[in-house]
């Protein structure tokens, strides 16, 4: 292991770290926001919309993320109508395409987490809130969703780590993330271990940080259990 080589190229890995964290962070935030309506229309069996949301989640969860990203970045670029449309401003950019792909994927998984929690909530709380005079939107906003957010923390932490690990495929569409930085280092200096082991260390450090944050959140928000 050439540690001096790693230290000299640390700015490359720092840049890759920023790219990875920004992509994963944006995708998780947008995916969680999209997952809420997807989960609600399924949990409360909204006609038509619930079936559409269920089909979307089934299709996304049933296909590999790599295939989804390739379809977005390479597949849609084959259509002249797409390249000539306003959507090309998004689909023609590798970074934006990665965020979009990871967002759509994360939304499907998180929606299933929320849906499972929503349908398992204590019916007595919901009935008591309704008897108190709350409307259904108020019950959802003040009772159901806060409960769902708290109870889904353990499962959601796994989704965060899963998406972080899955983000390595961003390097396959020209993005220099953490793994892309490792590949670039290995290719530039004709080495084998330095780039990949440094990337592995950075991913491990991020996972440890995520785990600690969620454990603290679970102790705070799930103390009543």
Task: Report which DSSP code applies to 96.
Answer: H
Contact 24, 30 (CB under 8 A): no
Residues 5-56 pLDDT 10s: 888 889 999 999 999 999 999 999 999 999 999 999 999 888 999 999 999 9
Three-state DSSP state, 76: helix
Check whether 126 has a pLDDT greater than 80: no
The architecture in CATH of the region 3-221 reads: Orthogonal Bundle (1.10)
Check whether 218 has a pLDDT greater than 80: yes
d(CA 47, CA 45): 6
Residues 39-48 pLDDT 10s: 999 998 889 9
Alpha helices by DSSP H, the chain: 3-8, 10-43, 49-61, 65-70, 80-83, 88-91, 94-119, 123-131, 136-139, 145-151, 153-166, 178-189, 193-221
Range in 76-90, 120-134, 179-193 the model is least confident about: 120-134
Nearest Cα neighbor of 28 from 211, 178, 166 is 166
């Amino acid at each position: 292991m050439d540690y001096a080589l790693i230290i000299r190229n640390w700015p490359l890995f720092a840049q890759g770290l920023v790219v990875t964290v920004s992509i994963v962070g944006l995708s998780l935030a947008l995916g969680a926001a999209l997952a809420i309506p997807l989960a609600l229309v399924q949990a409360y069996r909204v006609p038509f919309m619930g079936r559409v949301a269920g089909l979307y989640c089934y299709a996304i969860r049933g296909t590999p993320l790599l295939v989804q990203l390739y379809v977005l970045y390479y597949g849609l670029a084959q259509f002249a109508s797409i390249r000539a449309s306003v959507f090309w401003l998004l689909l023609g950019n590798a970074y934006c395409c990665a965020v979009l792909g990871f967002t759509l994927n994360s939304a499907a998984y998180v929606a299933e987490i929320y849906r499972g929690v929503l349908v398992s909530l204590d019916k007595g709380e919901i009935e008591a809130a309704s008897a108190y005079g709350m409307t259904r939107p108020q019950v959802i906003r003040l009772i159901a969703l806060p409960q769902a957010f708290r109870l889904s923390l353990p499962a959601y932490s796994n989704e965060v780590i899963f998406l972080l690990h899955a983000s390595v495929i961003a390097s396959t569409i020209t993005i220099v993330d953490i793994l892309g930085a490792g590949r670039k280092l290995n290719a530039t200096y004709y080495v084998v271990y330095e780039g990949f082991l440094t990337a592995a260390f950075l991913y491990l450090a991020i996972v440890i940080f995520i785990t600690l944050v969620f454990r603290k959140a679970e102790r705070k928000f799930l103390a009543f259990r």
